[in-house]
Structure 1
């Protein structure tokens, strides 16, 4: 049919002040006018001289032109990218998963050298002032403490009195802090409570208490609003040689700081009574330090145990009346804390220093604090600095082979471009991998590696430094040199922190260490996690679309797609959903998406089943609270009871919540397992992402276990029915992943790989889990609320009836 007018269409211009919708309305109004001549359709009024010339076009042609413009409209690029990834999710899931594991193995290679970000720290810019005079005073304290060991009667009171007297003689304010040990018992609300909320139990024995000795130096150039804390744990019942040395090191620095004119922050020396544990003593003091005076919590001990008001037992001494204080003494806000210990292990070649930084739930101090200690120890005192590493990684052959490959790649890259710095020596890669694995392990465990962890609960940056002498038995001259070098190290750290104008904030709080002088920042190690979990939403969307399209084709009596679930790859995607990509180029995209959303209600049944399983995981996490009430229960018995109650509760919850609402038509759906897998992967993805915010290390290790299990989950019945090499291999992989992914089995495998299988018992898993909830580790919640339900759903998919 020839068009009525062959003249070219004039360019349409919007009138001033008209929107496009208003202009379209005017244009349509013209189309409804009666047919007129060309002359009649033009307006010649002086008011309309600026209006554009609009030719007459029939309404039918206008409607056809509008439909054509709509059909040419394409979705936004981000939508097309998402549809493309979903359509090819099998390929991209394999690529992303492999890239995530490779990125994790590359972290030691990508580690950067540490540097000090805060300019005001200026470590080593001032010559140390600690001299032989302070060392001589420290030796006298060590000799006096050692002599008390030969007097068992009254040695506890004598050691406290002696330390307090030395503090007082240096000019510091001295006070005593009494505390009772906390009863380690599971309570679900402790995971969400602040450190201040845990109070003394009503049935605590007043005879069991420890006494911390606290000395405070008021800064001559400060206003009392900030403080630096030094902590030296010691067992008042029996002071050994190492504890006496640590007290001597701290006292040499403390006595010096009472005389220096440059001190701008108060200094607190906490001699923590470690007879009930180092962490318990420090945590109790911090809890009372941050307790407001008007709350009444600070006097609860005196009210419950009035007979033990005599904290130090030396009322007969005139020194007590003059120099000690009965009240709880405080200083300013804590800028940083340093725990000083002398280690039991002796290094063969040189004095060394071990740094422990991990706190609860993977919290780390500001990297500048570690860098300051490392710089002063290496470049000023000549100490060999070490961080913990997993020794079992040093003997792994495949890790050595991988390190040699990266070393060869580095040589090849530098031969092409000498400026490229990719690749490190194989020995350095092995050391970095062992240190990185240790950092990941201790952060994922969520248990502090020392008493410094109590400070992170109050957002105070703190680390534990353990100084290891070259030989265990120190001579007189050797001991003086050891005390001098160690004391000057502590003095340098105090000087640097004293220079701070504000709290640590310039450097990283989220990082992984590969050596004392190398780290991996959050921007690098998160890439590995993102690549690892990226396949979960892609494959979940692909499974849902494929299952919905299959159900729609069955309902409309159309031939089913050529590729069925039984013949697809482990990830049911392939190119079945390619029509979704082509539909994106037409106006039927919205209609297609609407059909998928409205007609595919099968996901509600899968979501309900997943909800029941995740609710069961929460119940399992609360069961230890009741098991702990059973008296005289061994770890093995507790674990068996936990397993039996967990199985029973799963059966009961499924019968009550799932079965009455089951859909009778689900048996006709050949894609029910695919929808359930889609919901499972979505829930696992959300759980891993949330856990990465709380504790990245837990999310990373959990992703290495959960992601392959979710991606590979496939009904064994379909694999056995097909009986091909690919399906049999897939079934075998699913069985292995299902066994290894069970939390107790995972624990046994990892502990056996690191420590050997000779000493493993059934109750070890209960003891490990008990330590997690005692320390309020979020890893315990992850195991019960995320990992265990995902494992159960994957096992359910494996044994699906299809």
Structure 2
């Protein structure tokens, strides 16, 4: 029998490994957190060059067909649009009519799309879903309506089941030369594609009336495109609205042209969409500049192949300088420069040991890559679209915004013609590549972070940092639970040996009400977080409210509601007696478990939000320790731990985090007290999941950690 015992012990190596990890949770937590920070800092080094995954795209395989004839016609079209934009009366309707006439002359099917401007409003029941259609009242002003112009070219080699969308937003109430150039590029491409014979997908040109913003007209058109529309353009309450009379006349004037209709025109499934915007920044540069915006709602990104073909064609075919958004304030960071120098030095050492080891990048490339990656991570975590392309991602259509800036002045005809030629040929080549696809984009990545237009970090790389960050949470929770259970057992053993001390009262066990009380306390706090998430909906309806006053009211109501819940259900401190000295450990175990579950759930919805949230929550949860015990100890280690706890609690408080971040990026002089409330309004107006995360995960975990710090032990 003695020989059999060792064999039985060797049958469970995984269990022994688990016990070893749990018993050394402090060392494991420190190692995992340090490794996670290093993994984040090394992401620019681990970035890979972009490549075309879908061979059918074949970017640049054919010569561009856009000629000077189409560009000259587009320039004439721009002049006509600019002339109409100078008219202050009914300029918007006349511009829409002019665009429709030019589209019809090319043989396209044209229709007008009337949409009603609606303000984004917080609705807690509509998160992750498309808002319900707005009921337009009869007495609403005609000034709240906009008119899009839509042209459709039917593909000679297609069956009408697929389409490519081109969007050119313009402000009908005050157009400038840059917006006219956007329309010019759209018209030059539309003119060319109406003549080619190789089209296999329909082409939809949406001239979006952006008087209410660039997002609203695109979102309204997409909603009507994917849902039945039974009303015509002329039903606008013609008795009280002068503009609606013009719309009626517009339909009557065009009824003789069979290509123009007041019935909504559709095509097939959208394969891709390009939003074309021209921005005249008046910068003296040696090349035209192309900025790519790809982030959509809740961290959604288009297929990376779409960005890759645009970047390849812009750089290698049209000679444009391609940029993606970055945090310019990080470019002067001394810390990042120091890290970059260290990485560069390590790369040189590795190369000297083995020439095949390619590790390390130049300092300037590392710093710029980090600034770009931070911007990409932040925009995805924010959950707010960076352009009208975000409306397409709500319908699972791959779309990006191409913001083109000319190197010269648009008033110079030669420079304007050259700019239209470059921009038009770029869009033509992208359309030609997408036209080659036999199916939707699926080969490349949908989860990625950009470090430059030609480098990316896939989800398989940047999720390592997140996994390392949250890995200590279940380990620490199990360690605290087992430690409290062991101490509780020792207390019961002492009680059995001294019956005169505990004879008159029952001995509590961890497996009964002690664990349930901690779970109840954490549950109440998370329930309070759900209530807090709903409060801004009612506060925003208060008349004459300023952002600062709304923020003060929200914080006051949060504090008052938490106090009332404690009064009704009982404070988490109410059962902390001398007979249960480890009550705070049980509370921390449940808090850490709740944080782990919340971060894992958030990573499914928006990975970037979970990544940033873990950087704030995990250290606070791991270090949390009652201040009373630290002050009683009065050792150097205890004082350091208490200082770290107070610092982490201050930094992790959502308003403080926001002000510190904005001050670090834009400067503290630009920070106002009401900025946090304005930011919250932006999040809930766009139905960002980050808003739910703040109210239902981050803030409750913060309150639970404060409870641990203030625990009477």
Asked if Structure 1 and Structure 2 have the same fold, meaning a TM-score greater than 0.5 normalized by the shorter chain, the answer is: yes
Instruction: Give the corresponding residue for 2:318.
Output: 381
Q: 1:633 to 1:99 in 2, by over 3 A?
A: same
Distance 2:11 2:534 in 1: 48
CA contact (8 A) 1:362 1:444 kept: yes
Distance 1:110 1:439 in 2: 16
1:358 matched to 2:270? The reply is: no
Q: Give the C-alpha shift of residue 239 in structure 1.
A: 1.5
SS of the residue corresponding to residue 125 of structure 1 reads coil
Q: Give the C-alpha shift of residue 344 in structure 1.
A: 3.0
SS of the residue corresponding to residue 127 of structure 2 reads helix
Q: Give the C-alpha shift of residue 630 in structure 1.
A: 1.2
SS of the residue corresponding to residue 111 of structure 2 reads strand
SS of the residue corresponding to residue 401 of structure 2 reads strand
1:714 matched to 2:625? The reply is: yes
Match of 1:312 among 247, 253, 265: 247
SS of the residue corresponding to residue 388 of structure 2 reads coil
SS of the residue corresponding to residue 460 of structure 1 reads coil
CA contact (8 A) 1:608 1:658 kept: no
1:739 matched to 2:676? The reply is: no
Q: Give the C-alpha shift of residue 195 in structure 1.
A: 1.6
Instruction: Give the corresponding residue for 2:51.
Output: 115
Distance 2:246 2:534 in 1: 39
Matches for 1:469-484 after TM superposition, within 5 Å: 469-484=406-421
CA contact (8 A) 2:178 2:279 kept: yes
Distance 1:262 1:481 in 2: 26
Distance 1:486 1:202 in 2: 42
Give the greater-gyration-radius structure (CA).
Answer: 1
SS of the residue corresponding to residue 261 of structure 1 reads coil
CA contact (8 A) 1:185 1:628 kept: no
SS of the residue corresponding to residue 387 of structure 2 reads coil
Matches for 1:91-102 after TM superposition, within 5 Å: 91-102=27-38
Match of 1:449 among 386, 395, 414: 386
CA contact (8 A) 2:97 2:250 kept: no
Distance 2:93 2:441 in 1: 38
Which deviates more from structure 2 when the two are superposed, residues 348-357 or residues 473-482?
A: 473-482
1:515 matched to 2:426? The reply is: no
Distance 1:665 1:719 in 2: 17
Q: Give the C-alpha shift of residue 181 in structure 1.
A: 1.0
Q: Give the C-alpha shift of residue 319 in structure 1.
A: 3.9
CA contact (8 A) 2:535 2:554 kept: yes
Instruction: Give the corresponding residue for 1:328.
Output: 264
1:613 matched to 2:504? The reply is: no
CA contact (8 A) 2:290 2:322 kept: yes
Match of 1:648 among 539, 557, 560: 560
Which deviates more from structure 2 when the two are superposed, residues 746-755 or residues 77-86?
A: 77-86
Instruction: Give the corresponding residue for 2:162.
Output: 226
Matches for 1:389-788 after TM superposition, within 5 Å: 389-557=326-494, 599=511, 601-659=513-571, 664=575, 666-788=577-699
SS of the residue corresponding to residue 169 of structure 2 reads strand
Distance 2:10 2:554 in 1: 56
Distance 1:218 1:700 in 2: 45
Q: Give the C-alpha shift of residue 349 in structure 1.
A: 2.5
CA contact (8 A) 2:179 2:278 kept: yes
CA contact (8 A) 1:176 1:312 kept: no
Distance 2:427 2:260 in 1: 26
Distance 1:352 1:474 in 2: 18
CA contact (8 A) 2:232 2:263 kept: no
Distance 1:535 1:165 in 2: 65
SS of the residue corresponding to residue 403 of structure 2 reads strand
Which deviates more from structure 2 when the two are superposed, residues 341-350 or residues 527-536?
A: 341-350
Q: 1:369 to 1:204 in 2, by over 3 A?
A: farther
CA contact (8 A) 1:345 1:472 kept: no
TM-score, normalized by length of structure 1?
A: 0.84
1:138 matched to 2:60? The reply is: no
SS of the residue corresponding to residue 231 of structure 2 reads helix
Distance 2:400 2:508 in 1: 55
Matches for 1:146-161 after TM superposition, within 5 Å: 146-161=82-97
Distance 1:693 1:81 in 2: 29
Instruction: Give the corresponding residue for 1:580.
Output: none
Q: Which runs of 5+ in 2 are unaligned?
A: 498-506
Query: Deviation string for 1:578-610 (max 9, x for gaps)?
Result: xxxxxxxxxxxxxxxxx9997464221110000
CA contact (8 A) 2:233 2:262 kept: no
Matches for 1:339-358 after TM superposition, within 5 Å: 339-347=275-283, 348-358=285-295
Q: 1:156 to 1:437 in 2, by over 3 A?
A: same
Instruction: Give the corresponding residue for 2:202.
Output: 266
Q: 1:225 to 1:127 in 2, by over 3 A?
A: same
Distance 1:418 1:474 in 2: 53
Instruction: Give the corresponding residue for 1:165.
Output: 101
Instruction: Give the corresponding residue for 2:504.
Output: none
Q: Give the C-alpha shift of residue 88 in structure 1.
A: 0.7
Instruction: Give the corresponding residue for 2:502.
Output: none
Distance 2:233 2:554 in 1: 36
Q: 1:662 to 1:638 in 2, by over 3 A?
A: closer
Q: 1:702 to 1:634 in 2, by over 3 A?
A: same
Distance 2:237 2:7 in 1: 83
Q: 1:204 to 1:668 in 2, by over 3 A?
A: farther
Match of 2:13 among 62, 70, 77: 77
1:299 matched to 2:231? The reply is: yes
Query: Deviation string for 1:499-532 (max 9, x for gaps)?
Result: 0000000000000000000000000000010001
Q: 1:204 to 1:196 in 2, by over 3 A?
A: farther
Q: Which runs of 5+ in 1 are unaligned?
A: 1-64, 561-594
Q: 1:73 to 1:622 in 2, by over 3 A?
A: same
CA contact (8 A) 2:327 2:372 kept: yes
CA contact (8 A) 1:548 1:596 kept: no
Distance 1:118 1:310 in 2: 50
CA contact (8 A) 1:439 1:512 kept: yes
Distance 1:663 1:730 in 2: 25
Distance 2:671 2:127 in 1: 28
Aligned-residue Cα RMSD (Å) equals: 2.2
Distance 1:705 1:598 in 2: 30
Q: Give the C-alpha shift of residue 317 in structure 1.
A: 6.7
Q: Give the C-alpha shift of residue 76 in structure 1.
A: 2.9
1:254 matched to 2:190? The reply is: yes
Distance 2:496 2:369 in 1: 57
CA contact (8 A) 1:315 1:321 kept: no
Distance 2:508 2:392 in 1: 53
Distance 2:620 2:234 in 1: 55
Q: Give the C-alpha shift of residue 262 in structure 1.
A: 0.2
CA contact (8 A) 2:573 2:712 kept: no
Q: Give the C-alpha shift of residue 284 in structure 1.
A: 0.3
CA contact (8 A) 1:182 1:200 kept: no
CA contact (8 A) 2:573 2:711 kept: no
Distance 1:82 1:319 in 2: 77
Q: Give the C-alpha shift of residue 150 in structure 1.
A: 3.0
When the two structures are aligned, how many residues end up with a matched partner?
698
Q: 1:311 to 1:105 in 2, by over 3 A?
A: farther
Q: Give the C-alpha shift of residue 762 in structure 1.
A: 1.6
